[in-house]
Structure 1
Amino acid sequence: MKTLQNHIAGVWEDSRSGAFQDLVNPATEEVVARCPVGCAEDVCRAVDAAVAAHTSWEALPLTERIDLLNRWADAVTEHAAELAELECQEMGKPVGLGQMFIESAALGLRASASQALEYEFEETVPGPGGSNTRIVRRSLGAVAVITPWNFPVPMVLGALGPLLTAGNTVVVKPSERAPMAVTRLFELAGLPAGVANLVLGDVRAGAPLVQSEPVQLVHFTGSVAAGRSVGAETGRLLHRSVLELGGKDPVVIDADVDPEQTAAAVAFGAFVNSGQICTSMERIYVHRAIAQPFIEALVSATAAQTLGDGHDDRTVLGPLVDQRQRDIVHHHVTDAAERGAEVLIGGTVPDGKGFFYPATVLTGVDDTMLVMTQETFGPVAPVMIVDSFEDGLRHASRSRFGLAATVYTNNPDHIAAAERLPAGVVWVNQWQGGGPERLYEPAGDSGMGATGSRAAYDAATRPVSVHLAHRAQPAEQGTGR
């Protein structure tokens, strides 16, 4: 059984806390590693290392920074199966699925780094009388990245690409529920000492990192409650934060789509990674005209979602990450059933070891139920039948969350209407569509701060204007600010 360590200033070292917690394989309930709980001293050392490395890292030519990140992407691709195996052990994701996402994340790291070649780190704006203003976007300095457990490797790589390419140095704190794959990811990094530091632990490491004076930006992905705390603390310090928090993503299904094909797409969007995705389809609104064939097809697709250990190629749904998460999911299902919803398939806790939960379909749900108002983060598809597409949009908009939304329709007027949904991303006829140029900002309780493409580089840099007059001007001709 491995005992995990921090990676600070290029050196692997034990946490100064001296305390550990066990990491449990959610499929077998066996302990697979020990993780330090972390402490303020760990954070201080890591932040100091990032600050010390910043000047030399920023001074490297952009092409050299990109080259180093591309080498890291090569290493990730080469070791994708190994990293996926570690994710399977720590949070249950099927190995094949995990490898697919990790390889995609390596491509994403390359793409986000290459976007820097098109980004305007400098531009000159002409002024009156032959003067000009040069606008230079400089890196922020030391940055904190705090990531969740559902996609350990992809979430880290997705955040680090623009931050490191822009010249920042980082301290990463992954979730204490899934630190093994990220630890291996850092072993593969090959970056100069102090550029990317790793601190393991729970809130005893996370809180000091957010509160650290030298940290100029906190890039946080996690729960709404934790995100509010991060936002409050960074606001107090007048530091930046980018927050991607919870989701309760709606799906609106029009009368003019193929119900069987759409049901298959919804089953994937609701159940992939056992529903443990921030943009998982968690509220389904289907037009009454196709409701019956859609629901029948959805139940049929749900029955094919086989439960099992992630090492088995036949497994579609691995376990949930832990007992706590399964309890939340089952509570949402039982709350709906007690309030009058019908469980068409699933909805029971399996016997035996492991934190498994079957793919579940509910009908007869309403907007008072937990399964329609709070983030479930599990393999549950609650379906509400609506009388019109407009009615579906109204229900879809009634949420404090606004991460993403999906619409299935062939009506041009309905496509135009879907664009008004209060969400950072609206997918029409293809869940998770779009390429590396996509940028968005969550709405409502789902977060704040635009990210993706050039917005990620805007967040990773600070603009400085340098004004050059045609000739030196007498003091009295100054115009002030």
Structure 2
Amino acid sequence: MKTLQNLIGGNWEDSRGDEFHEVINPATEEPVGRCPSGSPEDIRRAVDAAVRAQPAWAALPVAERVRLLSRWADTVAEHAAELAEIECHEMGKPVALGTAFIGGAAQAFKAAVAEALDYAFEETITSPAGNTTIARQPLGATAVIVPWNFPVPMTLGALGPLLAAGNTVVLKPSERSPLSAVRLLELMDLPAGVVNLVLGDARAGAPLVADERIGLVHFTGSVDAGRRVGAETGGRLRRSILELGGKDPVVVDAGVDPVATAAAVAFGAFANSGQICTSMERVYVHRDIAGEFIDALTDAARTYTLGDGHDETTVLGPLVDQRQRDIVHRHVTDAVERGAAVHTGGTVPEGKGFFYPATVLTGVDDSMLVMQEETFGPLAPVVIVSSFEEGLERASASRFGLAATVYTNDPAHMAAARAIPAGVLWVNQWQGGGPERLYEPAGDSGMGATGARAAYDAATRPTSIHTAA
């Protein structure tokens, strides 16, 4: 079992801390790696390296930074299947699904860094009083903290604009899925210190967020942890981009194909065992098609076969660990005890692995845990509504606002759906859109606009230089 190392200033080295934990394969419950728990000294050294490397990296022409980063993206794409195998070992995602997401993430990374070629890092405004040049400078050393559910794609998504804009990065992956981050950086061929990797839990994360030299923290994770990050960075008058939890709704209107829509909702609710920030976690379906939709959703759920993600027949891998499975089952148990009906799933399987079946619930109400708290598991709780307007109203009644999905054939209803407070609204296609998308979460789902040009605005600081006529 390999003991993982940090990457600091271009060198792989042991942690200066003396505590470690095992990384567990959630399908077999066997250890697959030994990860340091982190230490302030690891962080100090990594930030030192990022600070030293940043001036030379920023001094490179934008086109050269883009060339180097694009080359890395091509390498990642070539190794997508290998990286997906590692993600499967550490957090259970089926290899086929992981390969598709990593390949897509490499393409998105390449597109995001190419945006730097057209971004206005400098522009001049001429007036009778003289010329004003607006120069957007990099922030310096930055921090990226990513969660365990999509370690490679989420790392690439955060890194692209930060690096292309001339910043350097200290990356801290989740302590639950560090193996793929290590391999991702082994594949990297950038100047020493441009990207540094520090492994660990809060013992690494807290000192990284608190370091005065970090100009921006890009954090993806839980609401509670995000609040702590926001309080720390705000107190230091530094920037943070926070993408936190979600309780994403889907509203299914009358008039849509109930069977096809149910299949789409099943994928949105059960893909990656529901361990996606934008998973469909609340389903509001019009009463006119509710019966047929629920039957089709139940039938679709039963096709999500459980198993080790290395098996090509597996559709639903395990949850990341026992703790996560306990949360999921607690939500189901709470709903059933308060009157909900289980159409399929809802029981903890026997045997090894942290598996949980695709589960469909009806008879739920908005006071239940499964409708109030982020589940992050393969559950589809369904509420029957009397009108599309009621569906929108109930979809909007949440403290979360990450994303929302609406299925409707009515143009007026499509327009009305814009009132849902969410960073992203998908109409008739979950996860639709391309690299030009930009958004900011609403409510407790986070803060800080990102994507496309907004990512470059966040990664730079504007300075105005006025020269008198």
Secondary structure of the 1:110 match is: helix
Write the distance in 1 (CA, Å) between the matches of 2:78 and 2:278. 28
* 2:374 corresponding residue in structure 1: 375
* 2:100 corresponding residue in structure 1: 100
Write the distance in 2 (CA, Å) between the matches of 1:80 and 1:433. 22
* 1:236 corresponding residue in structure 2: 235
Structure 1 position 2 matched with structure 2 position 17: no
* 2:44 corresponding residue in structure 1: 44
How far 1:126 moved relative to its partner? 1.8
Q: Which amino acid aligns with 1:418?
A: A
How far 1:74 moved relative to its partner? 1.4
- Within 5 A, what are the aligned runs for 1:387-406? 387-406=386-405
Secondary structure of the 2:454 match is: helix
Structure 1 position 345 matched with structure 2 position 344: yes
Write the distance in 1 (CA, Å) between the matches of 2:280 and 2:461. 36
Write the distance in 2 (CA, Å) between the matches of 1:402 and 1:256. 26
Which structure has the larger Rg? 1
Q: Which amino acid aligns with 2:158?
A: A
Greater CA drift, 166-175 or 68-77 = 68-77
* 2:156 corresponding residue in structure 1: 157
Structure 1 position 126 matched with structure 2 position 126: yes
- Within 5 A, what are the aligned runs for 1:36-435? 36-129=36-129, 131-435=130-434
Q: Which amino acid aligns with 2:15?
A: S
Secondary structure of the 2:98 match is: helix
Secondary structure of the 1:3 match is: coil
How far 1:71 moved relative to its partner? 1.1
Q: Which amino acid aligns with 1:35?
A: C
Secondary structure of the 1:186 match is: helix
Secondary structure of the 1:463 match is: strand
* 1:477 corresponding residue in structure 2: none
Secondary structure of the 2:21 match is: strand
Q: Which amino acid aligns with 2:391?
A: G
Q: Which amino acid aligns with 2:121?
A: F
Write the distance in 2 (CA, Å) between the matches of 1:81 and 1:389. 42
How far 1:117 moved relative to its partner? 1.1
How far 1:454 moved relative to its partner? 0.3
Write the distance in 2 (CA, Å) between the matches of 1:70 and 1:415. 37
Q: CA RMSD in A?
A: 0.5
How far 1:219 moved relative to its partner? 0.2
Secondary structure of the 2:419 match is: coil
How far 1:337 moved relative to its partner? 0.3
Write the distance in 2 (CA, Å) between the matches of 1:449 and 1:394. 25
How far 1:226 moved relative to its partner? 0.1
Write the distance in 2 (CA, Å) between the matches of 1:435 and 1:349. 38
How far 1:461 moved relative to its partner? 0.3
Write the distance in 2 (CA, Å) between the matches of 1:55 and 1:119. 20
Post-superposition Cα deviations, 1:9-28, rounded to whole Å, max 9, x if no partner, equal 00000000021100110000
Structure 1 position 21 matched with structure 2 position 21: yes
Secondary structure of the 1:219 match is: strand
How far 1:256 moved relative to its partner? 1.1
Secondary structure of the 1:217 match is: strand
Post-superposition Cα deviations, 1:22-65, rounded to whole Å, max 9, x if no partner, equal 01100000011100000000000000100000100000011110
Secondary structure of the 1:108 match is: helix
Of all paired residues, the percent bearing the same amino acid is 73
How far 1:81 moved relative to its partner? 1.2
Post-superposition Cα deviations, 1:134-172, rounded to whole Å, max 9, x if no partner, equal 000010000000000000100100000000000000000
Write the distance in 2 (CA, Å) between the matches of 1:317 and 1:350. 13
Post-superposition Cα deviations, 1:75-94, rounded to whole Å, max 9, x if no partner, equal 11111111111100000000
| Gapped regions of structure 1 (runs ≥ 5) | 471-481
Q: Which amino acid aligns with 2:181?
A: V
Write the distance in 1 (CA, Å) between the matches of 2:320 and 2:127. 58
Write the distance in 2 (CA, Å) between the matches of 1:292 and 1:126. 65
TM-score (normalised: structure 1): 0.97
How far 1:127 moved relative to its partner? 2.4
Aligned residues: 469
Q: Which amino acid aligns with 1:251?
A: V
Write the distance in 2 (CA, Å) between the matches of 1:127 and 1:40. 51
Secondary structure of the 1:426 match is: strand
Write the distance in 2 (CA, Å) between the matches of 1:360 and 1:444. 27
Secondary structure of the 1:278 match is: coil
Write the distance in 2 (CA, Å) between the matches of 1:415 and 1:102. 31
How far 1:118 moved relative to its partner? 1.3
Write the distance in 1 (CA, Å) between the matches of 2:192 and 2:360. 50
- Runs of 4+ in structure 1 deviating by more than 2 angstroms, as ranges, are none
